[in-house]
Amino acid sequence: MLIASVIIVLGFLGLIWGADKFVSGASGLAGSLGVSPLLIGLTIVAFGTSAPEIFSSAVAAMQKKPELAIGNAFGSNLFNVGIALGIAALIKPLKAPESMLDRELPALLLVTVITGILIADLQLDLLDAILLIMITVFFIYRLLKQQINSTKASVETPEHESTRMKSLKAVAYLTIGLLILVISAEALVQAASNIAEALGVSASIIGLTIVALGTSLPELAASVTCVLKNQDELAIGNIVGSNILNLLAVLPFPGIFAPGLIEANLLYRDFSIVTFLTILLCFFCYRSIKKEIHIGRASGIIFLLIYCGWFTVCLLYTSDAADEGLV
């Protein structure tokens, strides 16, 4: 237990350091290649910080533990908005980028609705996984097409040696930061899972809480770092992009490797809160863009209270199930 606790602390420190290097690399790459910080946040940073969720869920699904993988996806989305964005808003009021209103926020809402429809029958099978993968490919295609069109419209300038070196340095930071993020998150999750299993907690609850919390710490670290560096676009883009990827890139694994029924609580108790927080996030972003009301400390407190309320319900359910001998 003591060794696991030490690993958790070291893992958290590694996540903070890795996130700092990763965000520095992302911002540098955006500047040197002419890519907007928002697009970097929605792609490279979001995918990089979602790597722990994708990796751990793939392993869980291949080990025939679909409830852990699904719980990880839902729990991570809850943590991203409720904790990561909530804490970021407490540190400094955030201004949502106007471009999100036409593309990214509708995409997040659409993906959330599609996910709800697919699991409404309390099943996740191969056809559901294929549909999610097709949407993922389409989403990536649209982002790439958008960037190519933007590049063609811009005036090309000769690439100087200093710019090329700056790009190489940014890529190095991205790579090193990503490796530290993934290694630290996996070590933290493994240690936390050992503690949770020793206490007799069910697999679905582990996925929703311990695993989701551990794999989502990169999002928290990256978002806080972005805010401290006045990169509001990168912070919000990271959360939105990561939540889209959590549903599109994580859920196919249980559908492919462990298709079948899912626990009712994952839909009615957990995904309902995922949907509610997603709608609330889109509303706050819309208000920030249209009425210039920043996502401030009051919004951050609301996010945190909703997450804490849901987390408390999960703990109470676990306690009741343990008393009845169901965990």
Beta bridge partners of 162: none
Task: Provide the 8-state DSSP code for 100.
Answer: G
Residue 184: what pLDDT? 79
Q: Is pLDDT larger for residue 260 or for residue 161?
A: 260
Could you read off the pLDDT of 205-245 as tens digits, one per residue?
877 887 788 778 778 888 888 898 888 888 898 899 889 98
Q: Is residue 9 part of a domain?
A: no
Could you read off the pLDDT of 37-54 as tens digits, one per residue?
666 655 666 666 677 777
Q: Is residue 33 part of a domain?
A: no
Q: Give the global pTM.
A: 0.79
Least confident of 17-26, 111-120, 144-153, 281-290: 144-153
**C-beta of residue 66 within 8 angstroms of C-beta of residue 214:** no
pLDDT of residue 105 exceeding 60, the answer is yes
Q: Is residue 172 part of a domain?
A: no
Least confident of 80-89, 166-175, 223-232, 237-246: 166-175
Question: Residue 191 belongs to a domain with what CATH number?
Answer: 1.20.1420.30
Neighbours of 67 (CB within 10 A): 22
CA gyration radius, the chain: 19
Q: Is residue 13 part of a domain?
A: no
Q: Is residue 175 part of a domain?
A: no
Of all residues in the chain, what percent are helix, strand and coil, respectively (each to 5)? 85, 0, 15
- How far apart (Å, rounded) are the C-alpha atoms in residues 75 and 247? 11
- How far apart (Å, rounded) are the C-alpha atoms in residues 42 and 272? 24
Q: What is the mean pLDDT of the chain?
A: 81
Count of domains observed in the chain = 1
Please give the residue range of the domain that contains residue 91.
Answer: 38-158+187-323
- How far apart (Å, rounded) are the C-alpha atoms in residues 323 and 225? 42
**C-beta of residue 234 within 8 angstroms of C-beta of residue 27:** yes
Q: Is residue 151 part of a domain?
A: yes
pLDDT of residue 283 exceeding 50, the answer is yes
Q: Where are the beta strands (DSSP E) in the chain?
A: 123-124, 260-261
Q: How far is CA 112 from the centre of its chain?
A: 13
Q: Is residue 191 part of a domain?
A: yes
Q: Is residue 19 part of a domain?
A: no
